[in-house]
Amino acid sequence: MVIETEQIPFHEWILWASLNWLLVVAALAVTGLFLSSLIAVVRHGPARGLELTFRVVGSSFADLFCMSPRRVWALTWLAIKDSLRRRVVIVFVLFLILLLFAGWFLDPGSDHPLRLYISFVLTSTSYLVLLLMLFLSAFSLPADLKSKTLHTVVTKPVRPSEIVLGRMLGFILLGTFLLVLMGAMSYVFVARGLAHTHEVIPSSLKVVQPGDDAAKGDVPLKGKSTSVNNHRHDVALDRKGRGRLEMTQDHFHRVIRRKQGDKTVYEVGQPEGMRIARVPVYGKLRFMDSQRQEKEAGTNVGDEWSYRSYIEGGSLAAGVWSFEGVTPEQFPERLQVEMTLGVFRTWKGDIEQGIAGVLLLRNPKTGLTVEAKIFPAREFSTDVHQIARKLTPETVYYLKREEDSDGLVKKVKYVREEITGHRKSQYDLFDDLTDDGRLEIWLQCLDPNQYLGVAQADMYLRARDASFALNFMKGYFGIWMQMVLVVGFGVMFSTFLSGSVAMIATVGMLIGGFFRAFMIKLAMGETYGGGPVESFIRLLTQDNVVSDLPAGLRTTVAQTTDAVLQKGLLVVAKLLPPLREFDCAGYVAYGFNISADWIAEQGLTTLSFAVALFVVGYFFLKTREVAK
């Protein structure tokens, strides 16, 4: 799994996000006030129009800040009751039927069965719940307006804000309840679907050390297990009869040999290692060129996917990750480094062998550097390296940081210095190579003319695993946030549009939300081919997207128009919900823990959208004639 989006720590994110939110809210408020004043002036004349606008703004403070929890709860209860009347429980029944028949088309014998199961339950849950909430939220208020039942409600001392909030809360509570039920069912489904055991085939067990036949049963044995779910395992037993069915399809089983009378039986446990939640500790990546001089990026090998930067092989070029929090408490036994590297070959070489890389550990304070591991980098798979706490490296030296400035640009360079005097035979990971939990890992490519491609998230230290069940819940939290946004948009649009139009508008926002990142990229001019007009010209003239258009009036007009359109596009894109970022099914399926930072950031993003949608919905309901 490739994680392209860098996880920004919450304390860094919150400042930027709050500022951004305030700016957007202020811009929206000013635009809203201007437009509503304009409409009021056009409809009622300047004096009355402005008077009405200020009256609405004045009363909105009381409406928004003096809501009665009792009334909001009554309206929430009504929304839930109304939804239940519409037989929403059918969705849960539908989900149960889906789970019952899922066994027909989900293959537990696939290479990564957990991914398959998790993707299935999360996807089906999100489709069902989001669709349900879309219909409920978009059609509820318009139905009340059509049947005029809302007349009886608004003639009570109910504020429009309470009506909007009551609806939102009602649907959110109902959706939450459904998600909890579906989540519990899904967890049981995944656990049961993947539960299996094997039998050890006694005749397949062979003594590892030749010549010890006489002592069979007390020496290491290797063999095969029976096939279940389209796979079988290699069996490895130690002298005491304990061992495991080796890793296949992302899991292993523990096995123990017991004597029952004259017979020897092998007890095989349930699969392990499959339902995990790795806790990756990410570092900051920087690059060194072939002179060990710091630079912004590695070599560009012409890959259109610019996510990775490349390290030149057979040189001093390196990718350097700076980690923090590398402490014995966090990594008690060993340091587990996991990497997913890209490989770029300028010549074929030995495909089976892989491209050789080396991992160097460096103390950022003292500069002490040890060669920890030489390894063949494999493409399309995760390389796992265990680094013991006590290291006995063959190569040890200092990499000293040197700064040089030509008056304008500061250059940072690292220079190798050999150890003079006493050289220890063994180095301690924490005592010698870390400084207050800080550690640098340098990755170099050893094969000349070959390249290793890296991005910041490609290497991480694996800390102690988190709970899979909790991670599974976090996956559902991602769906919950999407549901909240669907409800928010649905209710907001339904305050001034008819049910079907409100639904289409909500779907439009959701689709826009999925393409938000691309729209921002387009608006910022970060895509090839220019803005909409320039791209259109390129389509007509069949111009290459990377070549500049010929200078002239046409290009100037196109690019000026694009600049204006791109500003508008940026505003629209910023208003769209970042729905893709809420989708964390991949994290759960691929066994990565969803961090607390992620939960806090996305949770706050959802809350801020929900608040904004509530306020906008309130203003629409407040300014419309309910009985018209």
Partner 1 sequence: MPDDVIIEARNLTKVYRDFWGRQKVRALKALDLEVRRGEIFGLLGPNGSGKTTTIKLILGLLFPTSGQVLCFGRDATDVTKNERIGYLPEESYLYKFLSAEETLDFYGRLFKMSRRVRRQRTADLIDQVGLTRAKKRQLREYSKGMTRRIGLAQALINDPELILLDEPTTGLDPLGTRDMKQMILDLREQGKTVVMCSHRLDDVQDVCDRIAILYEGELKELGRVDSLLKVHDVTEIHVRKLNEKAQQEIRQIIDREHGELVSMGNPTTTLERLFLDIIAESELHPGRRVRGAKDA
Binding-site ranges for partner 1 (CB under 8 A): 42-44, 48, 55, 59, 70-71, 73-74, 77-78, 81-82, 85, 147-159, 625-628
Could you tell me the smallest distance in angstroms from the CB atom of residue 74 to partner 1? 4
What does the alpha-carbon distance between residue 40 and residue 51 come to, in Å, rounded to a whole number? Answer: 9
Complex with partner 1: residue 60 or 593, whichever CB lies closer: 60
Complex with partner 1: residue 78 or 341, whichever CB lies closer: 78
Among 82, 84, 87, 179, smallest CA distance to 140 is for 82
Q: Measured in whole angstroms, how far is the alpha carbon of residue 402 from the centre of its chain?
A: 38
Which tokens in the block code for residue 180?
């909890």
For tokens 């939110």, what's the residue?
A: 21
Complex with partner 1: residue 151 or 401, whichever CB lies closer: 151
Could you tell me the smallest distance in angstroms from the CB atom of residue 77 to partner 1? 8
Could you tell me the smallest distance in angstroms from the CB atom of residue 56 to partner 1? 9
Could you tell me the smallest distance in angstroms from the CB atom of residue 497 to partner 1? 13
Backbone angles phi, psi at 78, to 5 degrees: -65, -45
Could you tell me the smallest distance in angstroms from the CB atom of residue 156 to partner 1? 4
Complex with partner 1: residue 40 or 335, whichever CB lies closer: 40
What does the alpha-carbon distance between residue 563 and residue 555 come to, in Å, rounded to a whole number? Answer: 12
What does the alpha-carbon distance between residue 30 and residue 15 come to, in Å, rounded to a whole number? Answer: 23
Complex with partner 1: residue 84 or 131, whichever CB lies closer: 84
Could you tell me the smallest distance in angstroms from the CB atom of residue 508 to partner 1? 21
Q: Measured in whole angstroms, how far is the alpha carbon of residue 151 from the centre of its chain?
A: 45
Complex with partner 1: residue 38 or 627, whichever CB lies closer: 627
Complex with partner 1: residue 135 or 252, whichever CB lies closer: 135
What does the alpha-carbon distance between residue 42 and residue 44 come to, in Å, rounded to a whole number? Answer: 6
**15: which DSSP letter?**
H
Complex with partner 1: residue 143 or 185, whichever CB lies closer: 143
Looking at the DSSP assignment, which residues form a beta bridge with residue 251?
248
Could you tell me the smallest distance in angstroms from the CB atom of residue 327 to partner 1? 55
Could you tell me the smallest distance in angstroms from the CB atom of residue 163 to partner 1? 10
Could you tell me the smallest distance in angstroms from the CB atom of residue 165 to partner 1? 14
What does the alpha-carbon distance between residue 410 and residue 401 come to, in Å, rounded to a whole number? Answer: 13
Give the C-alpha distances (Å, rounded to integers) separating 588 from 163, 475, 593. Answer: 37, 6, 7
State whether residue 173 is helix, strand or coil.
helix
**N-term to C-term CA, the chain:** 54
State whether residue 129 is helix, strand or coil.
helix
Question: 277-282 and 410-417: which strand pairing?
Answer: unpaired
Burial 550-562 (b: 16+ CB within 10 A, else e): eeeeebeebbeeb
Give the C-alpha distances (Å, rounded to integers) separating 209 from 212, 223, 234. Answer: 6, 13, 17
Could you tell me the smallest distance in angstroms from the CB atom of residue 179 to partner 1? 24
**Cβ–Cβ < 8 Å for 334, 390:** no
Which tokens in the block code for residue 587?
């994290």
Could you tell me the smallest distance in angstroms from the CB atom of residue 492 to partner 1? 20
Complex with partner 1: residue 194 or 615, whichever CB lies closer: 615
Complex with partner 1: residue 11 or 628, whichever CB lies closer: 628
Complex with partner 1: residue 147 or 426, whichever CB lies closer: 147
Could you tell me the smallest distance in angstroms from the CB atom of residue 182 to partner 1? 25
DSSP line for 596-625: HHHHHHHHHHHHHHHHHHHHHHHHHHHTS-
What does the alpha-carbon distance between residue 461 and residue 433 come to, in Å, rounded to a whole number? Answer: 15
Complex with partner 1: residue 10 or 77, whichever CB lies closer: 77
What does the alpha-carbon distance between residue 419 and residue 399 come to, in Å, rounded to a whole number? Answer: 10
